[in-house]
Amino acid sequence: MTVADKIAYFCMEYGLESSVKIYSGGLGILAGDHLKAAKDEQVPLVAIGLKWKMGYVEQHVTANGKVVDCFSPIEYPELHDTGVRIHVNIREDRVPLKVWRMETFGNAPLYLLDADVDGSPYHWVTRQLYGGTEEERVAQEIVLGLGGVKALEALEIPVATYHFNEGHAVLAGIALIRNEMDKGNDFHKAWEKTRERIVFTTHTPIAAGNESHTMERLRYMGAHQGLTIEQLAEIGGIPFNMTVAGLRLSRKANTVAALHLETTTKMWKHIDNKAKLINITNGVHGPTWMDTRLNSDKIGVEKVQKVHQDHKLKLLAEVEKRTGVQLNEESLLIGFARRAATYKRSNLIFSNPEIIDPLLKSKRVQLIFAGKAHPMDENGKSIIKTLVLKQKEFPESVVFMENYDMELGALLTKGCDVWLNNPQRPKEACGTSGMKAAMNGVLNVSILDGWWPEICQHGKNGWAIGDEVVPEDETEQNKRDAEYLYQVLTEEVIPTFETNKVKWVQMMINSIQDTREAYSASRMIKDYCKKMYDL
């Protein structure tokens, strides 16, 4: 790798700034933090994404809990027209793409590919993040993958390593193989040469997050780049699994938490010819998510208390502004904010009314929920409805904050007293919102899944819900975890908050010091440079 060579980072979404809605959730926020850290650490990285006309869904909730999906045009900051025009073939049509450059927010250069150009009938490809049919998704992946490779060539940016952040980008690997075959290499030699240039990060263990496409659809859409069904099957299997393809196209692949490495290794143990899996635990960008007043080797009790109270009052003011609910600043405030998905179990805390109802009625405990459901996920929307109905049942103690985004996420991970996380195990890949909370002295109360087992010191920097035993039966797991949740809440968390402020604040300090560097995006990007990019 020469000084001029770059790491080319491919991702379908980027969470750089709350107002620029080219992200849907954790994957995009991580990508944004990755770019910011690369800029901070002067890593030679450029990023490839899509210029979405409309971002991910905005969700508003009626009084009876009905979720209303809305889609709005994205208001971009100043974009630089690179003057570069490329094309990709979709179906059998030549589709023009425009290449924009975005350099705001101090991120490494981000190039966005735009299909809404020159009156093209394929303007719909970059219309909406994660919207539309499966054919639209394949078209978007063609633009990101093949278009990204072509854009970098047209921009004359020399690439040492292509980094695919999740499976959406793997068609870039097919394009690189095609390029090598066009130089006279046979398929297997072309594949071998291509693997030397690719690294891959896999994320969710959830099946729905590991996308597959039929061979017929890939060939119909033109995604195969002239490769035969047999050749595609060697890479991604039948049907063509994007995660499997990523594992087989790369020289190295990584997971995003130590436990995630164990889970992923078991999950894909039947896949041959895959890259060696290593782990690089995620990190979050401190300047974006952490109050700078807390980022010090020595932080006193008074400062921690004042900073936290400032954020708590700011959050409560926003709650009142948005919902009209006045929460009590002296009561324990528990936050639960993440995608509305069944396995996240946002309603686990309501499992036993005999325990939780008196705590809510007396306002000793107050709950703030936030999250979005995928537009096509009716189960996720029913979860939101359940939370809204709980809000009606306990109007002074339970709040659901609609239309979760980066801005609200920052308020919650600074202003709550406790950050609750109780997914079914082992389905959490990492859980970076807990890192953001921990860096701000918001104490994690969490299942031992994702990143939390790596750092948890029960009763010192947060609390574990239960142990590492995972019943195979989900009903039994739900029952067991609910019992442990109530136990730690009633016997440790609430008593400490109400009667031992000295210990509580010391735990806040421990939480901050244990995470502010170890779980920073700065540490993460250095790990990528050493372990994946060979820098």
**Six-digit token pair at 251?**
């020289």
Give DSSP secondary structure letters for 62-124.
Answer: -TT--EEEE--B------EEEEEEEEEEETTEEEEEEEEEE-GGGPSPEEEEE---TT-TTGG
pLDDT score recorded for residue 2: 57
Q: For domain 286-519, which architecture applies? A: 3-Layer(aba) Sandwich (3.40)
Report d(CA 215, CA 406) in Å as an integer.
37
Q: Which residue has the tokens 């991702």?
A: 11
Name 169's Cβ contacts closer than 8 Å, sequence gap at least 6: 10, 11, 12, 48, 141, 144, 145, 148, 246
Report d(CA 352, CA 341) in Å as an integer.
21
For domain 6-284+523-531, the question of CATH label 3.40.50.2000 is answered with yes
Report d(CA 535, CA 3) in Å as an integer.
10
Report d(CA 508, CA 514) in Å as an integer.
10
Do 2 and 159 meet the contact criterion of CB atoms below 8 Å apart?
no
70, burial (CB in 10 Å: exposed 0-12, middle 13-18, buried 19+): exposed
**Dihedrals φ, ψ of 88, to 5°?**
-130, 160
- Domain ranges for the chain, please list them: 6-284+523-531, 286-519
6-284+523-531 and 286-519 share one CATH topology? yes
Do 273 and 247 meet the contact criterion of CB atoms below 8 Å apart?
no
Report d(CA 39, CA 60) in Å as an integer.
35
Q: Please report, in tens digits, the pLDDT of each residue of the chain (535 residues total).
A: 555 689 999 999 999 988 898 999 899 999 999 999 999 999 999 999 999 999 888 899 988 889 999 888 998 988 999 999 999 999 999 999 999 999 765 568 999 999 999 899 999 999 999 888 999 999 999 999 999 999 999 999 999 999 999 999 999 999 999 999 999 999 999 999 999 999 999 998 887 779 999 999 999 999 999 999 999 999 999 999 999 999 999 999 999 999 999 999 999 999 999 999 999 999 999 999 999 999 999 999 999 999 999 999 999 999 999 999 999 999 999 999 998 989 999 999 999 999 999 999 999 999 999 999 988 889 999 999 999 999 999 999 999 999 899 999 999 999 999 999 999 999 999 999 999 999 999 999 999 999 999 999 999 999 999 998 888 899 999 999 999 999 999 999 999 999 999 999 999 999 999 999 999 999 999 999 999 999 8
Report which of 439, 360, 310, 60 is spatially closest to residue 318, judged by C-alpha positions: 310
pTM over 0.85: yes
**Six-digit token pair at 189?**
């030699």
Do 111 and 100 meet the contact criterion of CB atoms below 8 Å apart?
yes
Report d(CA 432, CA 28) in Å as an integer.
12
